[in-house]
Amino acid sequence: MSETVLDVKGMNCPLPVLRANKALRSLASGERLRVLATDRAAVADVQAFCRETGHALLAWSEETGVFSFVIRKK
């Protein structure tokens, strides 16, 4: 399955989640979005966003200051 990548590195809260929400609107149900962010607040923000919207947060990780989130659209 293909994956869309959204690079929001350098953007601060709430922009990473707002941009992710906009990107998810253009995807079909079940498609995946990988969000790359550097704002530490994105960890809690993306988790809360997925809980509230019903999208699935499949995985998240951090490597050298870059957070990667894989979200499956509901």
Question: Domain 3-72 classified CATH 3.30.110.40?
Answer: yes
Residue 1 has pLDDT above 70, yes or no: no
50 has catalytic annotation:
no
Q: The dihedral of CA 69, 43, 24, 18: what is its sign?
A: negative
Q: pLDDT digits over 3-37, tens only?
A: 999 999 999 999 999 999 999 999 999 999 999 99
| Catalytically annotated residue among 11, 13, 18, 23 | 13
- What pLDDT score does 2 carry? 80
pTM: 0.95
Where in the chain are the domains?
Answer: 3-72
d(C-alpha 74, C-alpha 72), whole Å? 6
